Structure formats: structure tokens, C-alpha cells
Amino acid sequence: MNIGNATATPYPGNTAGQAQARAAQAGTQQLTEAELKRVAELKATDAKVRAHEMAHMAAGQGVVTSGPSYTYAYGPDGRAYAVGGEVGVDTAPEQSPQANIDKGRRIQAAALAPAEPSGQDLRVAAAGRALQAEGVRELARLQRDAVTSETPRLSVWA
């Protein structure tokens, strides 16, 4: 759930140019069984990564600052597959305690929306919990101060 740029890395052992050349040959040349297996793995990873980032997007109403950005790897078929992804999330504090409580909850929901949250997702959720807790503490302090200022005081002169 960070903000990042999409990058592509070649299939191990191939440069990007070699991967593209293989793609041009793919129509006339069959992939080996190992290459087909690798393509299937990359397709599954791509689908999982995209679903993960879409879960953040769907749950992150009001806190998502940017759409998904993906990191790509080239498969032996010369195609690029998403192997990592990021979604930007606003974790900055708000002006009011209640706004921080609400925003902290939304951050946590966005961060923990995927079935398998990453380490970064867990760190973002912790930031959301901290923001929420700070809002609760500040709201309690304000309520305590309001009660204290409204309490009549009895002065005794000796």
C-alpha cells in the first residue's frame, strides 16, 4: 500500500529485448513445458496481485490517494505480468478527534481488506490504529475538559 512506479523485470535469464524477441517468435515456436508452467504461475500471481490491490481500492473510500501501481516481470512468452502492487493511502492526521477516529478505521479497513495482508499492509493498519487511538484520547480529553469547566466551584473564605 505504498506509492510507487510500475517497473518491469525480465524473465530470469532473459533481457527485456530477448523477452520481446521471444514474444515475436511465440506464434511460430512452442514454449517448453517448464516455460508453460512458469507462464501459468505468472498468470496466477498477476490475478492475485490485481485482486489484492482492488480489495484495497474497494475498502479505502476516502483514504486511497492513488490507484494501483504495479511491478511487472516478463514471462518466457514475452508478456509482462504483475508481480507486485501498491495503492497510495493517506495516513495524515485530521483536525478533529472524531475525524481521526473515523479516518483511522477507514485506513485499517483498506489495509486489511485483502485476504492475505502483506507486511506493508499490516504497518499501514497499525498507523490507522494509532490515528484512531489518538482521536479517542483527544476526544476523551476534550470531553473531560468540558465537564470540568462546567462544574460549579464552591469557594470557602476563612
Domain-by-domain residue ranges, the chain? 8-148
Q: pLDDT tens across 55-110, in order?
A: 999 999 999 999 999 999 999 999 999 999 999 999 999 999 999 999 999 999 99
pLDDT of residue 20: 55
Three-class secondary structure assignment of the chain = CCCCCCCEECCCCCCHHHHHHHHHHHCCCCCCHHHHHHHHHHHHHHHHHHHHHHHHHHHCCCCEEEEEEEEEEECCCCCEEEEEEEEEECCCCCCCHHHHHHHHHHHHHHHCCCCCCCHHHHHHHHHHHHHHHHHHHHHHHHHHHHHHHHCCCCCCCC
pLDDT confidence of residue 146: 87
The model's pTM is 0.75
What is the average per-residue pLDDT within 111-126?
97
pLDDT of residue 4 exceeding 70: no
